[in-house]
Amino acid sequence: MKLIAHYNRHNFLVLTLLFILSGICSYVLTRNVLYNELDESLESSMNRVNNYVQRYHVLPSPTAYDNLKVSTEVTDKPVHTPYLIYSDRYITDNGKKHAGRALIFSVHLNNQIYKIRISKPLEGIKHITQTVALTTITMILLLVVILAIANRFFIARLWKPFYSTLNSLKNFRLNTPGPVEFEKNNIEEFSVLNDHLKIVTTNARKEYHLLKEFTENASHELQTPLTIIRSKLDVLIQQDNFTEQQVELLADAYGAVTRLSGLSQSLLLLAKIENNQFSDQQEIALHETIRRKTSQFEEIWEDCEISCQLQVHPLFIKMNADLLDILLNNLFSNATRHNSPGGNIAISLDTGSMRISNTSPDAALDGEKVFSRFYKSVVNNEKNGLGLSIVRQICLSSHITPSYEYKNGLHNFSFYWY
């Protein structure tokens, strides 16, 4: 849910409650005030009636003026304290029945007790309070509508720079060149946010490049000492008079140098792919490339007694030719290396996807980790565990989705182009 929607939801809820409350309050208050007023006027009328009776010794005529109605009746019980009642017996001149309020009291006149009832209609108060309630409700509705419209246009515009910043961040990649551009705006908070984000992203990118550069340089610089070690060993082994033990030592050292050079070359390659040094892409007929690569491996497969099924449909893709070559090399090598004599490799190419399946004595690999660096399912110190992470890096830079699946004893590596 968007921030504005959240804001609106809470805002409107509170506002509505507030207005309903204040509506109820003003309704009750207005009514009470008016009722008091009415009651007071009834009391003053009672005083006037009492005065009249004392002065003239006659009951007031039951005429009604100023909406005031006075009615008298003879009673034997005096009303000790005057009391107020609601009545619906107020009848206007034109015969309409209305709710009213009446004050009942008694007077003594000529040894007779009279119960006097003065009543006034409540109609006026009802109208006023209804008007107040109506006004309040109308105000609520009007305010909510106006606020909704205002939020929609005004607040949306206010937050626009923020969404533009979000958008810029969404497109931010560590390995793309050039600083992130944030739209300029005149809201201080957003400007500060943008400034800070700019600093953070620039620094992150700088660090990332330094790290990449370091990896590349380190791998590069390793090559020369490795060459020296290997050349020294090459010269050393030419001497004839080694004991068996010395030969073993030398062979182990030689093997380790070979592994180390493979490792540093793989790391260098990874760094180069990450640095976008293979950026030029071209249209490639993948089926042709796979056929060519398969024929290169045929001899090796023959030696390993591995059979191969090739099933290709024409598929044209756009990617870097060198990367594709490395990708296929790695995949085919893997399928070969983890195979066993009498095994099988199946390569199929469909519209938009490529799949390489191989038999293997190894158990299923962890699909989550299989493409990560230095992942080794079985203890195999001969390999550096970088082959599939190179595959993953190539996929990442070429917009290919790789996936791994173990099914019916087959390791399946699938690749999807979108």
By CB under 8 A, name the binding residues for other proteins.
220-221, 223-224, 226-232, 234-235, 237-238, 244, 247-248, 250-251, 254-255, 257-258, 261-262, 265, 268, 272, 277, 296-297, 299-300, 303-304, 322, 329, 333, 336-337, 380, 382-383
Instruction: Pick between residue 228 and residue 363 the one whose CB is nearest to other proteins.
Output: 228
Phi, psi of 269 (to 5 degrees): -60, -45
Min. distance of Cβ 227 from other proteins in angstroms? 4
CA atoms of 343 and 301, how far apart (whole Å): 10
Instruction: Pick between residue 76 and residue 280 the one whose CB is nearest to other proteins.
Output: 280
Using alpha carbons, select from 310, 319, 220 the residue that is nearest to residue 269. 220
Min. distance of Cβ 159 from other proteins in angstroms? 48
Min. distance of Cβ 387 from other proteins in angstroms? 9
How big is the CA angle at 246 (ends 240 and 251), to the nearest 5 degrees?
90
Instruction: Pick between residue 93 and residue 280 the one whose CB is nearest to other proteins.
Output: 280
CA atoms of 404 and 411, how far apart (whole Å): 7
Q: What is the dihedral of CA 163, 168, 174, 178, to 10 degrees?
A: -150
For residue 388, the tally of other CB atoms under 10 A from its CB is 21
Min. distance of Cβ 165 from other proteins in angstroms? 38
Instruction: Pick between residue 31 and residue 383 the one whose CB is nearest to other proteins.
Output: 383
Q: Is 240 exposed, middle or buried (0-12, 13-18, 19+ CB in 10 A)?
A: exposed
Residue 109 C-alpha from the chain's centroid: 86
Tokens of 241: 């008079």
Using alpha carbons, select from 239, 237, 259 the residue that is nearest to residue 249. 237
Min. distance of Cβ 356 from other proteins in angstroms? 15
**Helix and strand counts by DSSP (H, E) for the chain:** 8, 11
Min. distance of Cβ 262 from other proteins in angstroms? 6
Instruction: Pick between residue 2 and residue 292 the one whose CB is nearest to other proteins.
Output: 292
CA atoms of 180 and 171, how far apart (whole Å): 9
Instruction: Pick between residue 272 and residue 392 the one whose CB is nearest to other proteins.
Output: 272
> DSSP letters along 181-247, please?
P----S-HHHHHHHHHHHHHHHHHHHHHHHHHHHHHHHHHHHHHHHHHHHHHHHHHTT-S---HHHH
Hey, which residues does 313 pair with through a beta bridge? none
Using alpha carbons, select from 58, 60, 33 the residue that is nearest to residue 46. 60
CA atoms of 355 and 219, how far apart (whole Å): 32
Instruction: Pick between residue 41 and residue 265 the one whose CB is nearest to other proteins.
Output: 265
Instruction: Pick between residue 72 and residue 336 the one whose CB is nearest to other proteins.
Output: 336
Min. distance of Cβ 332 from other proteins in angstroms? 8
Q: What is the dihedral of CA 360, 366, 369, 373, to 10 degrees?
A: -30
Instruction: Pick between residue 20 and residue 300 the one whose CB is nearest to other proteins.
Output: 300
CA atoms of 202 and 199, how far apart (whole Å): 5
Min. distance of Cβ 177 from other proteins in angstroms? 19
Instruction: Pick between residue 258 and residue 372 the one whose CB is nearest to other proteins.
Output: 258
Min. distance of Cβ 223 from other proteins in angstroms? 4
Min. distance of Cβ 169 from other proteins in angstroms? 33
